[in-house]
Amino acid sequence: MGRLEVVLNISLPQSTEDLFENYVPDILEFLVKRTANALNLESYSIKTESSTETSKTFGIYDNTANTRVA
C-alpha cells in the first residue's frame, strides 16, 4: 500500500509553537477523518512519528489490523 503524505505550508505571523497548538491539530483532525473515511476504517488512531521545531510527521493506524495505513 502506498504512503499518503500531506505537506502543510502555512504562513502566519505567529510562533511555531502557537501554530502547532492552535491550528495544526484542527487541520490534522480534518485530514485524518477524511483519510479514515476514504480507507473505510472503523477504528483508527494517529501517532506522531517524528517531530522537530518546525515540522511533525504523523501516521494513521488501523486499530483493527494494528497496521499503519497512511
Q: CA-based Rg of the chain, rounded to a whole angstrom?
A: 13
All three cell numbers of 68? 499503519
pLDDT score, position 9:
67
* Residues 13-69: tens digit of each pLDDT: 666 667 667 777 788 778 878 888 888 888 888 888 887 776 777 788 888 888 888
Q: Position 64: which residue type? A: T
Spell 32-66 as b/e; 16+ CB within 10 A means b.
beebbeeeebeebebeeeeeeeeeeebebbbeeee
pLDDT score, position 10:
61
